Structure 1
């Protein structure tokens, strides 16, 4: 990653070819927020309809490299059907399944090298379906999709284009053998960044521990250059740790920069908030005990000051460790590291189908003028939507739009916020941690509550020579009020850059608490009846109520079974006969066990993941680090007549990694079909 701190001698342009809706043609014109990017019911966008069922994804002339490819998937399977013909330097490079192409177009070549295929897949196929292995070409690259566009899905192909005459060696299968040792070394780091990252043997560590009183500012360290920080570690302790992580602001000023190139709440700076959300990524690590580490190289010519502003009302204990390495500042290439945080509090997220696109907006991450490299984004939000299913609570339909230099239309135009952050289909409720992109927190049920996503542009930094304007649309599926949207933009910049950063105020870092809520039978949950578990349980032995606004009505029923096969019965009163689907909203925690369920004595199937795909008879409720609300969806349609019906939840044993046998039930609900 250290090369990111110097402006490249050989410049390049970045271009993402994606299925974005071609009705978007110019900012602030009709269609700018058009949302149909290809979902199996609407056709995705292509560069050109070539006729005969062939569609052009990209046609790039000159030397370059494919940096990243991504395809949509549901809970289990990739969705980019059809076939691909890909040409590199006018030669057929790939001819076959589009799904396999986007997943890994060189896997057959890998299998012939002796490289561990599992290691390769873990390292270079990240998140759900992001392929990150570079494929260089000397002359050109052309990718054609073949199939029926009415049933095709979203896609991305990110390409770097070098100036004409740049010496680039075209990819060949032999490269995998020739560079096998290097590939394996990189793969090992990506598969376990925390343990396999190599720090400089010249590194020198400086430590500081102090108490930062409420509403006070303290300098942690003052360093003399030239040097570079290669590792910054911070751990905070306070009476309310989540509040402290948001209201304790980190400022780092290199070479006398007045307000600091880095200004961000401590927790947000490390790419995951609120609270402690463990993750192991290439530049950022958060450990379960709250130790947070940044490995972006931070060079400086003369000085570096690290300051903490405690904008909260509680004292904070802070421990900081900084490791520096020798660095020779280059007047022509060296850049400062920048991290710019901003938030929009208590706003409304409008739906994608708002009449005349009313209320939809591009949320700015960074507007910068100068020279630099954009290297990462993180978003931390609070979504209070009360509909407990994704069709009514999803917040992330908005596309990324990145204008580079003299762009009048974005060079990088995406297909959805979750697609940019490396997953797909709005449906991944659980944590997704990979070296470059992922989701470290999602409270639930489905996509409500606190959510935190990150994306590191380590192998695909976005270079700008004059300016960069980075936006992501805020676009939901229903109107959501009292929405909170914070984000961090990470970039390197040559001295003299200016950007739109506004100094962080106390109001910006106000403590956001979960608000009381009850499930609503809105979009996607029409004709639903909700039953609070504590209101319909028949046996309260070994039962307690846990109070927290994570749970509907502010309470969750916690049952602690003593033996496998123990059960609890819930009586549901049905007032209208009909066919129903049954769902159970549960607490997934570090101490949760495994359960099954029966309706009137008939065992229920549950989807293995979310609400599609394979079915299973038991569900493991274990979640490793924090309590989360998750809904068990059954594919079964059950005929229920008017009257009382019994739902039995059975304890099937302890999860392998769980610390206990807890079964938490928030609510049960019936949806008439």
Structure 2
């Protein structure tokens, strides 16, 4: 959105366009009343050892501050030689002294790296820059207290955890209707398709199957209370050949048993088309930064943010997507859903054990998945 102004320059009129900041960013033309602070891994001696080492099983608290305030930016980079350390390190966030986290996810998945390896991508709210720079710009308000932790569930130390967390200390309380940031990790390794007796996505046995109630859909998140859903990052490891993205997105609002919002295909929900054209792309609110050939073993990463129209709910919400048309396919999905809601929030499903979070091909049968145990 732009603000248009007409001004006079030496007797002639000229039109000047000023970009309007998104609503979560301060208006830089107005004097701000907050004070900006940073919690970081800086060397307290003034030297250049600006990192923390985190032993196996240990938790590093990276933010522990009183409010009212808003976390405005989070940056991490990690030196850890252990394979799939992005899946082994867990990020958690707690608001106002709550005992269960409002954010819980493997750190890679939170930043859209759901396959456990690094790739560069950019969006309005999350990005990974060269090289291995993890950035988050979701605004995260808190009234009384904020605590963010990083836990190493790997078998080896994190040699160096670097972080900068910027937050605003506010001069007055948050508005009474302020919603709190939440993020929930889910995975299916694998999704359980209802059949493996099909030859390709156009097989009649697949196309004739109906799914009107979303039963057995992959679930991105569920919430109770009131708030609004703002998006998802998802990664796919194919266990079967052919295009994985024939599944429709379905959203269930305030206890509905049939979805009020239904899409037309996975690549359509992520605002691409025609299998994404087989070409990776990355835009401000949507993208598919990882795309490989449509064969068993192929990988994909996709994202969509609803900043144009967050999906509101008053009592409950469930966000889902089919895995293949009518849930015929048995690929692996890994996702983090992002939303804002009033506290308290419902308990999250238990985080899968660390050994079950490593992406691995599964023996499921069907095209490209033979009679022996599948290997990565």
**TM class by shorter-chain length?**
0.7 to 0.9
Q: Does residue 353 of structure 2 align to residue 506 of structure 1? A: yes
Q: Does residue 332 of structure 2 align to residue 332 of structure 1? A: no
Q: 1:396 to 1:225 in 2, by over 3 A?
A: same
Q: 1:205 to 1:509 in 2, by over 3 A?
A: farther
Q: Is the CA contact 1:429–1:446 (under 8 Å) kept in the aligned structure 2?
A: no
Structure with larger RCO (C-alpha < 8 A, sep 6+): 2
Question: 2:82 and 2:288 mapped to 1: Cα distance?
Answer: 23
Q: Is the CA contact 1:394–1:477 (under 8 Å) kept in the aligned structure 2?
A: no
Superposed displacement of residue 361, structure 1: 2.5
Number of the residue aligned with 2:339: 491
Residue from 337, 362, 374 that aligns with 2:217: 362
Number of the residue aligned with 1:376: 231
Q: 1:458 to 1:479 in 2, by over 3 A?
A: closer
Residue from 333, 344, 347 that aligns with 2:188: 344
What's the TM-score, normalizing by structure 1?
Answer: 0.44
Question: 1:254 and 1:180 mapped to 2: Cα distance?
Answer: 42
Superposed displacement of residue 498, structure 1: 2.1
Instruction: Give 1:256-405 correspondences, 5 Å limit.
Output: 256-274=97-115, 275-316=117-158, 317-327=160-170, 328-330=172-174, 332-349=176-193, 353-354=205-206, 361-386=216-241, 393-405=242-254
Q: Does residue 30 of structure 2 align to residue 181 of structure 1? A: no
Superposed displacement of residue 423, structure 1: 0.6
Question: 2:192 and 2:38 mapped to 1: Cα distance?
Answer: 45
Number of the residue aligned with 1:204: 37
Q: Is the CA contact 2:247–2:326 (under 8 Å) kept in the aligned structure 1?
A: no
Q: 1:224 to 1:508 in 2, by over 3 A?
A: farther
- Secondary structure of 2:63's match? strand
Number of the residue aligned with 1:621: none
Q: 1:244 to 1:332 in 2, by over 3 A?
A: same
Superposed displacement of residue 356, structure 1: 5.1
Deviation string 1:381-437 (CA, Å, 9 cap, x unpaired) is 211324xxxxxx111111111122254542321111111111112243222101001
Superposed displacement of residue 276, structure 1: 1.4
Question: 1:507 and 1:521 mapped to 2: Cα distance?
Answer: 27
Return 5+ residue gaps in structure 2 as ranges. Answer: 6-14, 26-31, 42-50, 196-200, 370-374
Q: 1:228 to 1:288 in 2, by over 3 A?
A: same
Number of the residue aligned with 2:372: none
Superposed displacement of residue 318, structure 1: 1.3
- Secondary structure of 2:246's match? coil
Number of the residue aligned with 2:315: 466
Q: 1:478 to 1:486 in 2, by over 3 A?
A: closer
Q: 1:204 to 1:218 in 2, by over 3 A?
A: closer
Question: 2:70 and 2:273 mapped to 1: Cα distance?
Answer: 37
Question: 1:458 and 1:477 mapped to 2: Cα distance?
Answer: 28
Instruction: Give 1:540-619 correspondences, 5 Å limit.
Output: none
- Secondary structure of 2:87's match? helix
Question: 1:329 and 1:514 mapped to 2: Cα distance?
Answer: 50
Q: 1:407 to 1:479 in 2, by over 3 A?
A: closer
Deviation string 1:488-529 (CA, Å, 9 cap, x unpaired) is 110011122325x2121325753224689xxx899xxxxxxx
Question: 2:192 and 2:257 mapped to 1: Cα distance?
Answer: 28
Q: 1:435 to 1:311 in 2, by over 3 A?
A: same
Return 5+ residue gaps in structure 1 as ranges. Answer: 1-109, 115-178, 188-192, 194-199, 387-392, 523-548, 551-673
- Secondary structure of 1:460's match? coil
The number of equivalent residue pairs is 328
